[in-house]
Amino acid sequence: MPENPVRSVLEGKPFRHPLHPMLVHFPIGLFVISLVLDVASYLGRGSHALVLGALYTMCAGVAMGIVAAVPGFVDWTDIRRDHPAKGIGQWHMGLNILVLLIYGISIIARFATTNPRRTDLPLIFTSVIAICVLMVSGYLGGLMVYDDGIGVGRHRRRGRAPVRTIPLTAAGSADGWVSVPGAELMEDPQTLRLSIDGVIVALAKADGAYYAFQEFCTHRYGPLSEGCLKGGQVTCPWHGSLFDLHTGKVQHGPAKTNINVYDVRLVNGKVSIRVPSDDSINAVRRSRVAGATQERDWKTAAEPAPRPARVDRTPDTR
């Protein structure tokens, strides 16, 4: 299915930059200016121009806040359902809506005010509260970007990121092959994120071929299932490391260590993956995520961890 052009624009793909972080500066700046004008009108000798300036700046802030919310919402719908940032995003969105409601009420009250030369103290206090809520919301937005990598590099990706992690098990498979239900219906390009006995694996279809590889980048554990697929290679969405999907070799950094790639086969229309049981990085993941929820495995893996004794099938060439 071709990509929705409106969605692509809202994700910032034509601009090579996510749209939401670009736009949020406008409402934040306008709301701060509005507060400064309010305080100036209250503390000074009074000025109708300052009062009106605060009101109109606030109106512009609300309008730009609504504009910024649209790509923000689109970015939020692109977060995996089992990703911890999905919940943080809901709080971020809820607080922003609260801020816009507070300013909306303040604007209505200002139009009804009888003192044209000074902004009333309760209205100034309302703006202070709104800005405090905005700061908390901004903190959560920063957490999503800096802690969870949301919005980082997704604008470079063709196709959708995986919406959830599919749990699978190799138990009961005598030869180690694990069938991936529905993989034969994948679009091109598309990636699935699998948890095979607690090991997180990306299964990708690109340029008519299937590839299976470890989910977490060897640089800082960026989610490769959300990376850009092209020419049998995947680009990590976080810092742009490029890996060959046939060999797992690093094509260029910042990563210095190759990724593990796994065997994939298509038999009778069914796609299967084989993850070696002696894969050392799998063993590390198993021990690290044992008993953890899907949310925790992402968090755990995103933290810097001791490097396993053997990570690569192929020697690191860098």
Binding-site ranges for ligand FES (CB under 6 A): 217, 219-222, 236, 238-241, 254-255
Shortest Å distance, C-beta 279 to ligand FES: 20
Q: Are 212 and 266 in contact (CB under 8 A)?
A: no
Residue in 137, 204, 207, 174 with CA at minimum distance from that of residue 274: 174
Shortest Å distance, C-beta 267 to ligand FES: 32
C-alpha to C-alpha distances, 232 to 15, 211, 220, 264, 304, nearest whole angstrom: 25, 8, 22, 14, 28
Q: Are 216 and 142 in contact (CB under 8 A)?
A: no
Shortest Å distance, C-beta 250 to ligand FES: 10
C-alpha to C-alpha distances, 116 to 43, 45, 156, 203, nearest whole angstrom: 14, 12, 50, 63
72 versus 222: smaller Cβ distance to ligand FES? 222
The C-alpha torsion from 30 through 36 and 41 to 42, rounded to 10°, is 130
Shortest Å distance, C-beta 222 to ligand FES: 3
C-alpha to C-alpha distances, 89 to 138, 186, 203, 289, nearest whole angstrom: 11, 27, 26, 24
Q: Rounded to an integer, what distance in angstroms lies between the CA atom of residue 108 and that of residue 93?
A: 23
255 versus 311: smaller Cβ distance to ligand FES? 255
Shortest Å distance, C-beta 301 to ligand FES: 11
119 versus 235: smaller Cβ distance to ligand FES? 235
79 versus 236: smaller Cβ distance to ligand FES? 236
Shortest Å distance, C-beta 237 to ligand FES: 8
114 versus 317: smaller Cβ distance to ligand FES? 317
34 versus 241: smaller Cβ distance to ligand FES? 241
